[in-house]
Chain A
C-alpha cells in the first residue's frame, strides 16, 4: 500500500471521527430538543460517509479489487436519517416539549385531527 493511499485513508478516518464527535457534542450540549436534533442528523452523515470511503479505499488497496458494498450503508443511512429526524421532531411537537425562549416563530398549534381527537379522513380518494 503506497504512502499516499495510506495518508488519504488516515485523513478520511480522522475527518470522519471529528465530524461524528462534533455531531454527538451538538446532541449533548445544545439548548433544546429541536436544536439537538440537528447534530446527529447532519454532522454524523458526513462523518460516517468519510469512514465508509476510507473503508472502501482500504479494502480496495488490500484486496486489489474495488468493493462498493459500503455504498449500501450510505444509501440506507441517507434514506433513514431524515425519516427518524422527522419522527423525533414530530413527537417532540406532540409532547409539547419546551424550546428556548429565543426561538423565533411558533411551532404550529396541532389541529384536532393531527393529535388524534378527530377521525382522520383517508388522504387517498377512492380507497374508501
Chain B
C-alpha cells in the first residue's frame, strides 16, 4: 500500500470520489472542483478507520485485463441465462456447489463472490465464517468439477495474482 499520510489515507479513492462528484453534478466549474475535492478528502478521513486494510494492487495491467474479461463474461452470461429462462423445453439442472477458496484476504473474496454472482448461471450464496469455502448456487450444471475448475482458472487465479502474490 502507498504510505498512508495523515490527511490523505487513500489517494485512489479520493480521486474516484472527485470524479464521481463531478459526473453527478455535470459541471466542471472551479467551485465544484473545490467542493468535490474537499469532500474527497473529508469522507475518507472520517470513514477509513472502519474499513479493512485493502491489499496492494500488484499488477494494474492484469487487473484491467481481468475487468474486460469479466465484462465480456457478463454479456455472454446474460444471453445464456436469458436463453435458459425463455426456452420452454429446457431441463434445468440446478446445483449447490461448495467451492473451496484459495484466496485469503476478505477484500479479494468479496471481489470473487461478486464476480461469480455476475457471471454465467452462478450466484454466490454463503461464505463460511472461517473464510475457507463459498457456497454457490448454479442454474444449470452438467459437470461440477468443470465449473469449479473454470472459476478457479478464470477468476480466482488472476485475482490472486493481481492482489496477493
Contact = CB atoms under 8 A, between A and B. Distances in A.
Interface string B133-145: 0010101010010
Interface string B81-120: 1100110000011111110000000100000011111100
A114 B125 CA distance: 13
A99 B96 CA distance: 10
Contacts of B139: 35, 38
A102 interface: yes
B15 to A, nearest CB: 15
Interface residues of A, number: 52
Interface stretch (B3-11, B20-28, B55-63): B20-28
B125 A93 contact: yes
A42 B117 CA distance: 8
Q: Which of A32, A42, A45, A124 has the most CB of B within 10 A?
A: A42
Contacts, number: 136
| Band of interface residues on B | 35 or more
Contact of A81 (B52, B75, B117): B117
A105 B75 contact: no
B125 A46 contact: no
A89 B78 contact: no
Given A45-B74, A81-B118, A111-B129, A26 B81 contact: yes
17 contacts: A18-B82, A26-B81, A34-B125, A38-B85, A42-B118, A45-B74, A46-B78, A81-B118, A82-B113, A86-B114, A90-B125, A102-B94, A104-B96, A107-B96, A108-B98, A108-B128, A123-B131
The 5 nearest A-B residue pairs measured at CB: A82-B117, A46-B78, A89-B125, A105-B96, A26-B85
Interface of B: 20, 23-24, 26, 52, 74-75, 77-79, 81-82, 85-86, 92-98, 106, 113-118, 121, 123-126, 128-129, 131, 135, 137, 139, 141, 144
